[in-house]
Amino acid sequence: MSKSYVNLPDHNPAWPFSDGVMVNGTLYLSGRIGVDPATSKVPDTAEAEAGFLMEQFVTVLKAAEMTMDDLVYVTIYCPDVAHWPAFNSVYAKYFTVPNMPARAFIGSGPLLFGARFEMQAIAAKG
């Protein structure tokens, strides 16, 4: 089994997880929330938060020499599913139809820092 870890330069070594773990060409991406990197806070709008969230996945995938096209499965947690349309309006811009990853959008309890969304994913090379 081939296994390696993907951690971004700003990854805090005190955090008890990796940004991603690559196993035999499959990348398992840790859950992330969409904080504004300039303020380290959740933005005021759902669309801005979703944009920051998606860009974090672009960055982790790039560090693993992958792209959004390599995503095969995505899970999104959301305490208020009324934000589903706002998330989808941003999310859809990162993919081309019909090459969309499989996905689950799950109503959840509260998320860290009052985030509206948390996303985790699986990507496969090739």
Which class is domain 20-124?
alpha beta
**What pLDDT does residue 65 have?**
96
pLDDT score recorded for residue 28: 98
Predicted pLDDT at 71: 98
Q: Where are the domains of the chain?
A: 20-124
Query: In angstroms, rounded to a whole number, what is the distance separating the alpha carbons of residues 113 and 42?
Result: 7
Model pLDDT, residue 33: 95
pLDDT of residue 99: 87
pLDDT the model gives residue 126: 73
- Specify the DSSP class assigned to residue 35: -
pLDDT of the residue at 13: 85
DSSP characters for 53-95? HHHHHHHHHHHTT--GGGEEEEEEEES-GGGHHHHHHHHGGGS
pTM of the model: 0.93
The pLDDT profile of the chain, 126 residues, written as one tens digit per residue, is: 899 999 998 888 888 999 999 999 999 999 999 999 889 899 999 999 999 999 999 999 999 999 999 999 999 999 999 999 999 999 999 998 888 999 999 999 999 999 999 999 999 987
Q: CB of 24 within 8 A of CB of 123?
A: no
The CB density around residue 55, as the number of other CB atoms within 10 Å, is 14
Query: Among all chains, which residue has been given the structure tokens 């303020």?
Result: 39
With beta carbons less than 8 A apart as the criterion, state whether 75 and 41 touch: no
Helix (H) or strand (E) holding 49: helix 46-63
